[in-house]
Copies of this chain bind each other. A is one copy, B any other.
Amino acid sequence: MKSLFTSAAVLVLATTAFAADPAPADLRASALEIFKPLPSTTPAVTNNPITPDKIALGKALFFDPRISASGVFSCNSCHNLGTGGDDNLETSIGHGWQKGPRNSPTVFNAVFNSAQFWDGRADDLAAQAKGPVQAGVEMANTPDQVVATLKSMPDYVTWFKASFPGEEDPVTFDNFAKAIEAFEATLITPAPFDAFLNGDDNAMTADQQKGLALFIDKGCSSCHAGINLGGEGYFPFGLIEKPGADVLPENDKGRFAVTATADDSYVFRAAPLRNVAMTAPYFHSGKVWDLKQAVGIMGVSQLGEDINDAEADLIVAFLGALTGKFPEVTYPILPAETGTTPRPSGEVIAK
């Protein structure tokens, strides 16, 4: 698991100062030192060859509510492909109407994050996929029960065999996660920003280009860099000034829970910003619904910078250029249960 956060790195906030309105070519040159456009093809994933069969299986699993103990929630419930890949809630509602601890991150382009979850506790999407399935406040299921559910439906068994050829017993929780990872790797949303990086001067409006220049100038891109403008490194929320407990609740210490290192108190993975205009509310706490307000909070807390109203508007305009074209997904027809399919249960088991 990469950790780009070091005490040294924090101090080196990039401050390339642009002239008021840089020429598109200059702006692009600077941007390409910091960001990368999306590739035109599905990225390769470590130890998980992506095939059409596996993508199709992963899509079925992603949309199948029978993966949850109650039969109510699918992956798509909290990572809704129709609403920016998240659920538009402060924090997700799960099994037994329990509220999850953190805001649901978008699944779109998540394959490009160097680690998953707000605290980076999963190395990749396959590891991530196993989490919510077992979390008591989310799907409240067990690996054994998921496998029993899938094995009870002959179509699923056939699909796993086709997706994992040569394996004697392909219906496993690991392969379940790999199939979901394969599908999620296809969820890529090329945006005007990519077209601009790829050479189209007109792909972003003048305001969006000014916003990009400001995004670099002010130092936002020190943390929100790379292909996903974030999702790569870990930084303390409140690097310069801690936001109020409404936005940064005291009881969630972020990456500290993963590393048990004091330096990681209130450290989170910098949020990836693609499609951010579609994924309110913001921050791990989901307490801020307005993107401009979120930009202002970031300025004060992370940069010690009072971003003025006009600047915030331009940065928000630029962030709008990160809203991409969503892939067309045909809703999957799922296999019917059989006599051996475990029955759904909404019962909440006290711990």
Evaluate contact between A82 and B331: CB separation under 8 angstroms: yes
List of B residues within 8 angstroms of A328 by Cβ: 330
Within 302-339 of A, Cβ neighbours of B (below 8 Å) are at 326, 328-334, 336-337, 339
Evaluate contact between A333 and B72: CB separation under 8 angstroms: no
List of B residues within 8 angstroms of A331 by Cβ: 81-82, 329-331
Which stretch (A84-92, A194-202, A223-231) binds chain B? A84-92
Q: Say yes or no: is A77 at the interface (Cβ < 8 Å to chain B).
A: yes
Q: Say yes or no: is A93 at the interface (Cβ < 8 Å to chain B).
A: yes
List of B residues within 8 angstroms of A66 by Cβ: 83, 88
Contact with B along A55-70 (1 / 0, CB 8 A): 0000010011110001
Contact of A99 among B334, B336, B337, B346 (CB under 8 A): B346
Contact of A336 with B71 at beta-carbon distance under 8 Å, contacts A65-B87, A89-B344, A346-B93 already known: no
Interface residues in A, total, Cβ within 8 A: 41
List of B residues within 8 angstroms of A241 by Cβ: none
Evaluate contact between B70 and A82: CB separation under 8 angstroms: no
- Residue among A289, A326, A332, A336 with the highest chain B CB neighbour number at 10 A: A336
Evaluate contact between A337 and B81: CB separation under 8 angstroms: no
* Closest chain B CB from A198 CB (angstroms): 23
* Closest chain B CB from A40 CB (angstroms): 21
Evaluate contact between B88 and A280: CB separation under 8 angstroms: no
* Closest chain B CB from A115 CB (angstroms): 27
Chain A residues touching B, majority SS: loop
Q: Say yes or no: is A277 at the interface (Cβ < 8 Å to chain B).
A: yes
Contact of A84 among B280, B332, B336 (CB under 8 A): B336
Evaluate contact between A336 and B82: CB separation under 8 angstroms: no
Evaluate contact between A336 and B87: CB separation under 8 angstroms: no
Evaluate contact between A343 and B289: CB separation under 8 angstroms: yes
- Residue among A82, A84, A329, A339 with the highest chain B CB neighbour number at 10 A: A82
- Residue among A60, A88, A290 with the highest chain B CB neighbour number at 10 A: A88
* Closest chain B CB from A205 CB (angstroms): 18
- Rounded to whole angstroms, the CA-CA distance of A339 and B293 in the bound complex is 11
* Closest chain B CB from A310 CB (angstroms): 19
Q: Say yes or no: is A239 at the interface (Cβ < 8 Å to chain B).
A: no
Contact of A88 among B71, B83, B289 (CB under 8 A): B71
Q: Say yes or no: is A96 at the interface (Cβ < 8 Å to chain B).
A: yes
Q: Say yes or no: is A134 at the interface (Cβ < 8 Å to chain B).
A: no
* Closest chain B CB from A318 CB (angstroms): 16
Evaluate contact between B93 and A280: CB separation under 8 angstroms: no
Pick 16 A–B contacts, CB within 8 A, sort by A: A60-B82, A63-B82, A64-B82, A65-B83, A65-B88, A66-B83, A70-B93, A72-B77, A81-B333, A82-B331, A82-B333, A82-B334, A99-B346, A290-B339, A328-B330, A329-B330
